[in-house]
Amino acid sequence: MNLAAAANESLAHTSNVLIYSSMAVYLLAFFAHIAEWLFGSRSKTARTAAALTADARPAAAGTGKAGSERKGGTAVLERPKIITRSAPGARDIPDGPGAAGGDEQGDLYGRIAISLTVLAWAIEAAGVVTRALSVQRAPWGNMYEFNITFSTVAVSVYLAFLLMKKKVRWLGLPLVTTVLLDLGLAVTVLYTDSDQLVPALHSYWLWIHVSTAIFCGAVFYVGAAATVLYLFRERYESKLAAGLKPGAFATSVMERLPASATLDKFGYRVNAAVFPLWTFTIIAGAIWAGDAWGRYWGWDPKEVWSFITWVAYAAYLHARATAGWKGRKAAYLALIAFGCWLFNYYGVNIFVTGKHSYAGV
């Protein structure tokens, strides 16, 4: 073995060590996020709803005071309004774990969780870069490399929102949980030794097309996570509005999430913002296919599912913009679109034979 090959093998081993190390730190961040959710303060929305309920109870015992009305000599409690938005013209309510700032212990756990997430992200990013150095190419030649890069970019998107002072600490727990699952799948099922690309992929379009695809997927994931949480939070708010009392566990979790309107708007905005880039990703892939295979579009399974994903997200955005679809119907459309992206990511690469199945796993 020559010195260059030995150096590349050493770099590949270092990359593996860094990826495993990042998983250990992500696990610590996971427990810190759990502690924040357990001990942190409730969201501003939850505290407002609780205050309204508390204010209404004394009124029910009185006669004719605010919050109650008399029907045949019996004081009837008016259902408290569940606040899901801030005042007209103001910003959305900045609530969720750590956003209210009303609990020092919860805020401390939140800051520890963010610090550990940043450290884990830096270690994982170093592992991705080291993997690239070991093969002297972009680290996107197989599913293992795609997975570790995807999770790194997903965390990068989350940290970028935090740097922009967005109140998205509620996303930390589901994000870190997903990253741990993604990396666990990568190092156990999808792991592939460092190797060179097939000749057709030696092109600068690899950097353009695949990097944008990974970034779009990371942002779509953030939008999907917000949408799933929206569905749970919206159901919780509906139960409260109907006068029902959810269970203690559901209450504890849901009251640490932002308002459903905030989650809905956040998911819509991130999906709408990245959709033009997904359009560019498909166009860039077609141009690369023309250079590599002599045709721009051949209805390869990857091309078909990329287009299906584009149509699904286009339908979601069109429904919200023109048909006025909001709430649960729009959320289901968004999750169907993300499901198409997931199948394009995993299903096509692993289970479907085509020109894009060059790397196995």
pLDDT of residue 98: 47
Ranges of beta strands (E only) in the chain are 68-71, 74-77
Tell me which residue of 2, 1, 167 sits closest to 96, measured CA to CA. 167
pLDDT tens digit sequence for 89-106: 444 444 555 444 455 666
* For residue 348, pLDDT beyond 70: yes
CB atoms within 10 A of CB 230: 27
pLDDT of residue 115: 94
pLDDT of residue 354: 61
Give the integer Cα–Cα distance in Å for 199 and 211: 19
pLDDT of residue 336: 96
Place of tokens 């309920």: 53
pLDDT band at 41 (very low <50, low <70, confident <90, very high): low
Give the integer Cα–Cα distance in Å for 151 and 146: 9
Give the integer Cα–Cα distance in Å for 143 and 131: 13
pLDDT tens digit sequence for 213-256: 999 999 999 999 999 999 999 998 888 888 888 887 777 778 77
Question: What mean pLDDT do residues 200-208 have?
Answer: 77
pLDDT of residue 242: 83
Question: What mean pLDDT do residues 156-177 have?
Answer: 91
**Dihedral (Cα; 323, 327, 329, 333), 10-degree rounding:** 90
Classify each residue of 114-132 as buried b or exposed e, where b means 16 or more C-beta atoms within 10 Å of its C-beta. bebbebbbebbbbbbebbb
Structure tokens at 249: 């566990």
* For residue 210, pLDDT beyond 70: yes
Give the integer Cα–Cα distance in Å for 48 and 332: 29
Give the integer Cα–Cα distance in Å for 69 and 75: 6
* For residue 325, pLDDT beyond 80: no
pLDDT band at 259 (very low <50, low <70, confident <90, very high): confident
Give the integer Cα–Cα distance in Å for 263 and 76: 33
Give the integer Cα–Cα distance in Å for 25 and 284: 36
pLDDT band at 72 (very low <50, low <70, confident <90, very high): very low
Percent of the chain with pLDDT over 90: 38
* For residue 169, pLDDT beyond 80: yes
Give the integer Cα–Cα distance in Å for 101 and 108: 10
As a residue count, the chain comes to 361
Question: CB within 8 A of 220, min separation 6: which ones?
Answer: 271, 274, 278, 313, 337, 338, 341
pLDDT band at 356 (very low <50, low <70, confident <90, very high): low
